[in-house]
Structure 1
Amino acid sequence: MSARPSACRAGFVLPAAVFLLLLPALSGCTSPAPRPGGEAARAAPGARGPSTAPVPVPYWVNPDGRAARAVAEHLAAGRTAEAALLRRISSRPQAEWIGPDRPEEDARTVTEAADRAGSEALLVLYDIPNRDCGQHSAGGAPDAAAYRDWVDAVARGIGARRATVVLEPDAVMHVVDGCTERRHHVERYELLREAVQRLKRQPSVTVHLDAGNAGWGRPEQLAGPLREAGIEDADGFAVNVSNFRTTEESTAYGRQLSALVGGKPFVIDTSRNGNGPWTEGDPVDSWCNPPGRALGTAPTRDTGDPLVSAHLWIKRPGESDGECRGGPKAGEWFDAYARELAGGAR
């Protein structure tokens, strides 16, 4: 089980003095845009932690993201050490999770800001009906018709601008593991196939179906379901979304799965996998704000592996997985945990 995606909240206006202090953390970003809406919060495995030096990548860094606002708040209160830690998060490109309320507006806001900055948007679509089997990130569209309308609105919002889309974390896995009721299986596959096809009508969109993580199960369990979900029309798949498996484990898992689905490439969520998964307690709780974790490899397309399209921060570090270990609701900012992740980075 993995932790879920995250919600975006109302804008935070930075005082001029604080904004000037933040400029080093925002290098490479332009066009601060209002944060899009979103829901829930997930987890992710990977490699070693990043340094604070800027890493040029083609994805947009949101200058008004949760981490950037937390940096500003710490600076305003004179907590420079805390601010320095959180810059390790705020200076990196992270996915924007598109919420249910304003899909077209949110997708347009993010992609236009990325386009003005000369970069590409990284989006997560997470609104499938009967989402997360009633757990921490329960919710989603009320029915199939509403979901189709929502996906169509997102696609219209993207327009002709560049975007990489990670489609519906856990949606396929929860069919395979039986978490999603059997009566919803056929509809879910139909909705995922249609979503891939609708998004691919946009000229500059790359779509990756979520495909679990190295600790979830065997790759062969997912090959058939991914085909049912439209992997042939997708550009590839995503692994380790909101989970903590190392980059090495995730690469091996992804390569095995790729061989079963026509050699499709994949992306790896490295946002919180710097120390790998938590193994010291109940495995059932290993995904929810586990202690002692660290930021993973900074986002990059230079992975050294032709099958690995990118290392990405799909789960936004610092956003809670759920109400566990003192954390707030899924998707809410968890400052102490964010600082722990940044402090553990190597």
Structure 2
Amino acid sequence: MEKLYQVKNLKKYYPIKKSLFGANKYLKAVDDVSFDIYKGETFGLVGESGSGKSTIGKCLTKIEEISDGEILYKDKSIIKSDDKTIKDFRNNIQAIFQDPYSSLNPTLNIFEIIAEPIRNQEKLKENQIKEKVASLMEKVGISADYMEKKPREFSGGQRQRISIARAISTNPEFILCDEPISALDVSIQAQIVNLLEDIQKDLGITYLFIAHDLAMVEHISDRIGVLYMGHLVEIGEAYQIYKNPKHPYTIGLLNSVLDPIPRKDKTKLLKTISSDIPSPINLPKGCVFQTRCPYKTDICSKEEPKLKAYEKDHKLACFNSDKVKNL
């Protein structure tokens, strides 16, 4: 398969106040992360809040500049590139964010919101732009009769559909979906995910899908990466991550999902992860997950595990994967 993105040893550090002795301290939001995204697929990123998911998305779209590492888009660096390469790159990417209301200009009507990126990239007459906007609105399930209305006149689900119409208005190759369903009612979330899948089939778009809802990530993703404290601890095909997880953190995440059918034995405790979360500015040496891991051994506090192949297309960073009990 053709690689659209190649992320190599990505680091994103945020400087914070100096310590008492004058040494610089950093919050390591993303620390030495490597993975690929293939053309036409949906690559999911999961992890707790603060794990670095959104930061990675912002680095891949150059919303944030990286601290170290390399990002290649279609085999070309987006870190060390000329203006033309960056312009071509920006013309081929778009983003859909968590809060559709704050991501839409409240002073513009829907026609102006969707037409703006079209005007920036295409030389079309005004009647052609209006026809294209109407077509895009119908494609995402919003009547073109409403194009003169403003964002405040729509529901949350409708606003996210408008965000999607704006995102696909320039025929992008890649869309960052950064928590696109988190702010929506549960009844609407599945509709938006299904819409994204339909658009992907029609246009061949590649997605980076970031979300907390593990069920939705499983449903839409081809491959999934699991992040913990800025470290990629497991990566594989969606069925591998959900049916045969091998990292203790991945298993803990999946066990934390509430069963829609109430448990018969209400005295039985959920197998959730320990709450002993380390400070993001003072992470433990060795494995960053060791303070919460039931399988910790001496080596875990001395060395940092590297992401290695467990089986075909399935990698994890764990010294004790042979001891880990499955779901």
The question of a shared fold, defined as TM-score above 0.5 by the shorter chain, is answered with no
* TM-score, reference length from structure 1: 0.33
**Structure number with higher strand proportion:** 2
Greater RCO, CA 8 A, separation 6+: 1
